[in-house]
Amino acid sequence: NPNVNWMPSRNGATKMHGSTPGDCRSVIRIYERSMDSEERLKHYMNVLLHEMIHSLVFHYCCCCHSCNSGLDDYWGQTGHGVGYIKLSNEAEAFAKRMMNIDLQVGLHKSVTIEIYTLQEKQLQIEWPWEELGLDESKMMKAAEWYRKWKASQQTQDSAPGDKTLDE
């Protein structure tokens, strides 16, 4: 179905349906984790916020051809581009300021995977690192680590998660 869009991760997924205003809906899944109850609740809140940001973008950003110019750069190849980072930063700041809750939507990991994906597709964008509050050098090092980790996973016969680069 061309009107269904999945944005999965290890922690959760957002499934979007519809393409016209009033006909759109999202289903967010959060995968269960074995943790103590306080840690698990915080994890679930972080994942829910992360997935809600994806849903917000899907429902409220025009993706028609005339508006679509540059959106790949802004929203990214994995949905974790500049626009996602700005929304995440604002959502985390709002939660801290208004609710005194320190939420983390997994921004560094998401941006690392976005950079890796751009590199794999041989695409390049101009990241406004300082405006986003991110350190370019650290993010590029993280993307390089992720590239090596992905390569090691593709050459292993073991199940995912059995080994890490540290071993």
Q: Which residue has the higher pLDDT, 21 or 100?
A: 100
Q: What percent of the chain has pLDDT over 90?
A: 36
Q: CA-to-CA distance for 149 and 126, rounded, in angstroms? A: 25
**Average pLDDT of the residues of the chain:** 80
Q: Which helix (H) or strand (E) segment is 126 a member of?
A: none
How would you class 37 by CB atoms within 10 Å of its CB: exposed for 0-12, middle for 13-18, buried for 19 or more? Answer: exposed
Summarised one tens digit per residue, pLDDT across range 132-150 is 999 999 999 999 999 998 8
Summarised one tens digit per residue, pLDDT across range 21-61 is 567 788 888 888 788 888 888 889 999 999 999 888 877 77
pTM of the entire predicted model: 0.75
